[in-house]
Amino acid sequence: MKKLPLQPFDDDGPVFNEPWEAQAFALVLALHEAEQFTWDEWARMLNEEIVRAQKNGDPDLGNTYYQHWLNALEKITLVKNISSNSEIHAKAEQWRHAYLSTPHGEPVELG
């Protein structure tokens, strides 16, 4: 008899569809472990974002879950005075510039 596989048979797809989803997921867990917010506070923030997205017409079929997750992450860092919208925006633009000024194939770093 062949060796039994450990994994139950399941046709589940990948856990994260894109790398940023995994990054956003990990940031929330890491901030929670650093005691920046309780898990209950996080769940409430995420729920508010989901409800808001639904009101704005998102059919909320599960494929936009990590977008809600990221919105909630930005909100909770705002509420907890960890970072501001302008700070996030400025840093994102710095990264965009770093990409645009780095020759293809070289590691992209913030100057």
Partner 1 sequence: MPHDHDHEHTEPPSDIALRVKALETLLIDKGLVDPSALDEIIETYEHKVGPRNGAHVVARAWSDPKFKKQLMEDATAAVDSLGYSGRQGEHLQVVENTSALHNVVVCTLCSCYPWTVLGLPPAWYKSAPYRSRVVSEPRSVLAEFGTELAEEMSIRVWDSTSEMRYLVLPMRPEGTEDWTEEQLQQLVTRNSMIGVELAKSPNNLDATVEGKD
Query: Residues 51, 30, 21, 53: what is their CA dihedral angle, to the nearest 10 degrees?
Result: 10
Q: Report how far apart, in Å, the C-alpha atoms of 11 and of each of 3, 46, 80, 81 are.
A: 20, 27, 39, 42
Measured from the Cβ of residue 71, the count of other Cβ atoms closer than 10 Å reads 19
Among positions 10, 55, 56, 57, the unique one binding partner 1 when judged by CB under 8 A: 10
| Touching partner 1, residues 16-55 (CB under 8 A) | 16, 18-20, 22-27, 29-34, 36, 39-40, 42-44, 46-47, 50, 54
CB of 45 to partner 1, least distance (A): 9
Sequence-ordered list of residues with C-beta below 8 angstroms from that of 76, at least 6 positions apart, any chain:
31, 37, 41, 42, 45, 82
Footprint of partner 1 (CB under 8 A): 2, 4-10, 12-13, 15-16, 18-20, 22-27, 29-34, 36, 39-40, 42-44, 46-47, 50, 54, 59-63, 65, 67, 70, 73-74, 77, 82-83, 87-89, 91-92, 94-97, 99-106, 108, 110
